[in-house]
Copies of this chain bind each other. A is one copy, B any other.
Amino acid sequence: MSAADPRLTPLVQSLPATVPFTGPEALERRAGLPFRARLGANESVFGPSPRAIAAMREAAAEAWKYGDPESHDLRAALAQAHDIAPENIVVGAGIDGLLDSLVRLTVAPGTPVVASAGSYPTFAYHVAGYGGTLVPVPYTADHEDPDRLIARAAETGARLIYLSNPDNPMGSWHDAATIQRMIEAVPDHALLVLDEAYIDFAPPGTAPAIDPLDPRVIRMRTFSKAHGLAGARVGYAIGQAGLIAAFHKVRNHFGMSRAAQAGALAALADPDWLADVLARVGDARDRITRIAADNALTALPSATNFVAVDCGADGRFARKVLDNLGRDGVFVRMPFVAPQDRCIRITVGRPEDLELLSEALPRALAAARHDAEEP
B15 close to A230 (CB less than 8 A): no
* A29: Cβ under 8 A from any B Cβ: yes
B69 close to A23 (CB less than 8 A): yes
**Quick one: which of B1, B96, B249 contacts A16, CB cutoff 8 A?**
B249
* A106: Cβ under 8 A from any B Cβ: yes
Could you tell me the distance in whole angstroms from the C-beta of A50 to the nearest C-beta in chain B? Answer: 9
Which residues of B lie under 8 Å from residue A299 when comparing CB positions?
Answer: none
From A4-12, A144-152, A201-209, A278-286, give the one contacting chain B.
A4-12
* A114: Cβ under 8 A from any B Cβ: no
B25 close to A70 (CB less than 8 A): yes
Could you tell me the distance in whole angstroms from the C-beta of A169 to the nearest C-beta in chain B? Answer: 16
Could you tell me the distance in whole angstroms from the C-beta of A211 to the nearest C-beta in chain B? Answer: 15
Assembly of this chain: how many copies? 2
Which residues of B lie under 8 Å from residue A59 when comparing CB positions?
Answer: 231
Q: Interface size (A, Cβ < 8 Å)?
A: 92
CB closest residue in chain B, given A190: B7
CB closest residue in chain B, given A41: B66
Interface residues of A in 258-316 (CB under 8 A from B): 258-260, 263
Residues of A within 8 A of B (CB): 1-12, 15-17, 19-23, 25-26, 29, 38, 41, 43-48, 52-53, 56-57, 59-70, 72, 93-94, 96-97, 100, 104-108, 122, 129, 159, 189-191, 215, 224, 228-233, 240-246, 248-250, 252-260, 263
> Given known contacts A20-B253, A47-B61, A48-B63, what 9 new A-B pairs fall within 8 Å (CB)?
A1-B242, A4-B242, A9-B108, A12-B105, A56-B57, A65-B231, A94-B252, A96-B252, A122-B254
23 intermolecular pairs with C-beta atoms under 8 Å apart = A1-B215, A1-B241, A3-B242, A12-B249, A12-B250, A17-B248, A19-B69, A21-B253, A23-B253, A25-B70, A48-B64, A56-B57, A60-B60, A63-B228, A63-B263, A65-B231, A94-B252, A97-B252, A231-B259, A232-B257, A233-B255, A233-B257, A257-B257
